């Protein structure tokens, strides 16, 4: 159970850090980039 909580916490921190640091998406995943049509 502790492993699941640790993995979820790590993923949460990783996603938050990537959002704050504005890390670019890897080139391999660029075709799947989601763009909001309503964004300014």
Q: What is the pLDDT of residues 1-40, one digit of tens each?
A: 999 999 999 999 999 999 999 989 899 999 998 887 765 5
Other Cβ atoms less than 10 A from the Cβ of 22: the count is 6
Instruction: Determine contact, residues 14/6, Cβ cutoff 8 Å.
Output: no
Whole-number pLDDT of residue 40: 53
pTM over 0.85: no
Whole-number pLDDT of residue 27: 94
Q: Give, in degrees to the nearest 5, the angle at Cα 10 between 9 and 14.
A: 120
From CA 23, how far away is CA 26, in angstroms rounded? Answer: 9
């Amino acid at each position: 159970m502790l492993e699941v909580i640790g993995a979820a916490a790590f993923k949460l921190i990783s996603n938050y850090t990537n959002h704050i640091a504005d890390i670019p998406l890897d080139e391999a995943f660029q075709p799947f980039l989601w763009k909001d049509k309503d964004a300014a």
